[in-house]
């Protein structure tokens, strides 16, 4: 029931962010560590994810939202991977908000995978990293093409980053609320955005 309520919150917050003109929304839906949960819970989460993709694909497309996934999706079942690809393809030409689900995602794993990709290119002789800057490295991250997050919202009163967007969140503002994710609504989102609007962002300057 909690996961089903959380899925409804995804719909609510996605619609609210799109309506507010937010450029990109990334939701941490399933981490690489979540496989440690009971098998019954993991199976239920996978079934819920597949069902929600089937149910919401047309709505995302009709609302000009582009669907994206980051993480090691090859760890999922073939039917779920096919559904992810279908929704991604369906919405690929949309020009509105980018909704990204972080699935089988871990920030450390992302950086490790980026390094493996770079080493493979170096072995081929197709890249020379001696003159690289941060942007060159970012091209190998899962989030290539997405903006760095301006605001990271942490629900449930948790005060840790939990292996989420470690590179990208270097200068993000953090907002922590005791509200549980299934109870997080458009009003709670607006409260977070109002707090964010009061912040002075200096980016180390």
* Alpha carbon distances (Å) from 161 to 76, 135, 155, 169, 195: 24, 23, 11, 9, 19
The answer to the question of residue 201 being in a domain is no
d(CA 173, CA 161): 12
Give the DSSP letter string of 103-141.
EEE-HHHHHHHHHHHHHHHHHHT---GGG--HHHHHTTS
Range of the domain at 160: 2-186
CA-based nearest residue to 115, from 104, 103, 127: 127
The answer to the question of residue 56 being in a domain is yes
In this prediction, residue 203 carries a pLDDT of 83
* pLDDT tens string 23-34: 999 999 999 999
The answer to the question of residue 33 being in a domain is yes
Average pLDDT over residues 11-16: 96
The answer to the question of residue 200 being in a domain is no
Average pLDDT over residues 189-193: 98
Instruction: Enter the pTM of the model.
Output: 0.93
- Beta strand residue intervals within the chain, DSSP E: 24-31, 66-70, 98-105, 151-154, 173-176
The answer to the question of residue 193 being in a domain is no
Average pLDDT over residues 141-170: 97
d(CA 181, CA 3): 10
In this prediction, residue 4 carries a pLDDT of 83
CA-based nearest residue to 149, from 198, 94, 90, 102: 102
For residue 126, the Cα-to-chain-centroid distance in whole angstroms is 30
Asked if residue 67 has pLDDT above 90, the reply is yes
* Residue 148: pLDDT band with limits 50, 70, 90: very high
The answer to the question of residue 181 being in a domain is yes
The answer to the question of residue 129 being in a domain is yes
Asked if residue 195 has pLDDT above 80, the reply is yes
For 134, the token pair is 């941060």
In this prediction, residue 205 carries a pLDDT of 75
Q: What are phi and psi of 38, to 5 degrees?
A: -55, 140
* pLDDT tens string 102-146: 999 999 999 999 999 999 999 999 889 999 999 999 999 999 999
- The per-type count for the chain, helices as H runs and strands as E runs, is 6, 5
Average pLDDT over residues 76-82: 95
Total domains in the chain come to 1
The answer to the question of residue 205 being in a domain is no
For 108, the token pair is 């450390």
Average pLDDT, the chain: 95
CATH number, position 104: 3.40.1180.10
């Amino acid at each position: 029931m909690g996961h089903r309520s959380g899925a409804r919150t995804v719909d609510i917050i996605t619609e609210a962010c799109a309506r507010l003109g937010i450029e990109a929304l990334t939701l941490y839906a399933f981490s690489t560590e979540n496989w440690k949960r009971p098998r019954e819970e993991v199976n239920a989460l996978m079934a819920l994810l597949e069902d929600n993709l089937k149910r919401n694909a047309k709505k995302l497309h009709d609302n000009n939202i582009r669907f994206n996934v980051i993480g090691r999706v090859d760890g999922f079942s073939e039917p779920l991977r096919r559904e992810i690809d279908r929704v991604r393809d369906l919405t690929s030409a949309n020009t509105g908000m980018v909704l990204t689900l972080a699935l089988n995602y871990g920030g450390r794993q992302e950086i490790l995978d980026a390094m493996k990709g770079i080493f493979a290119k170096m072995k081929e002789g197709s890249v020379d990293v001696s003159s690289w800057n941060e942007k060159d490295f970012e091209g190998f991250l899962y989030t290539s093409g997405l903006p760095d997050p301006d605001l990271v919202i942490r629900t449930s009163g948790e005060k840790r980053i939990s292996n989420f967007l470690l590179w990208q969140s270097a200068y993000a503002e953090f907002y922590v609320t005791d509200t549980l994710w299934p109870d997080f609504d458009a009003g709670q989102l607006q409260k977070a955005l109002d707090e964010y609007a009061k912040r002075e962002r200096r980016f180390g300057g």
